[in-house]
Amino acid sequence: MREFFVNRPDTAAMERLLGSHASDAAGVAVRLAWQAGLLRDEITNLTWDQVDFERNQLQLPARTIPITQMLADYLRSVYRKWTFLTGNSTNNCVICSDRYHKQMQPQAISRIARRVLDEVGQTNVRLVDLRHDYIIRQLEQHDWSYVARITGMEIRSLQLHFAQYLPNGRAGPKHSEKSGDIDEFKLWKILQAEKDTPAGLVLWLTWSMGLTAKNIVSLTWDQVDLEKNLIHLPEGEVPLTAAAKRILAKRLQKRTEDLHVLLSAESKKPMDVSRVSRITRTALIRGGMENWTLRDLWTRYEKSNWEQKITEAIRRSGPITRSQIMELYGQTKSAAYQRLRAMLDKGLLVRVGYKYYLPDSVVPPERQQEALYEYLKKEGFACRKDITTALQIETEQCSALLKHEVDSGNLIKVGQKYYLKES
Which residues have C-beta within 8 Å of that of residue 46, sequence separation ≥ 6? 32, 38, 58, 60, 93, 94, 95
CATH-assigned architecture of domain 365-420: Orthogonal Bundle (1.10)
Residue 4 has pLDDT above 90, yes or no: no
Q: How confident is the model at residue 177 (pLDDT cuts 50, 70, 90)?
A: very low
Q: How confident is the model at residue 43 (pLDDT cuts 50, 70, 90)?
A: very high
**Average pLDDT, integer, range 390-407:** 82
- Considering the chain, what is the average pLDDT of its residues? 85
CATH of 11-169, one of 1.10.443.10, 3.30.390.10, 3.50.50.60, 1.10.3720.10: 1.10.443.10
Measure Cα distances from 161 to 4, 127, 158, 275, 280 in Å: 6, 17, 5, 20, 21
Question: Which runs of E-coded beta strand occur in 168-327?
Answer: 224-225, 230-233, 236-239, 320-321
Q: Return the top range by mean pLDDT from 113-117, 301-305, 335-339.
A: 113-117
Residue 1 has pLDDT above 60, yes or no: no
Residue 86 has pLDDT above 60, yes or no: no
Spell out the CATH class of 184-290.
mainly alpha
Contact (Cβ atoms closer than 8 angstroms) between residue 394 and residue 355 = yes
Residue 354 has pLDDT above 90, yes or no: no
Q: How confident is the model at residue 331 (pLDDT cuts 50, 70, 90)?
A: low
CATH-assigned architecture of domain 298-356: Orthogonal Bundle (1.10)
**Average pLDDT, integer, range 208-216:** 88
Residue 84 has pLDDT above 70, yes or no: no
Domain layout of the chain by residue ranges:
11-169, 184-290, 298-356, 365-420
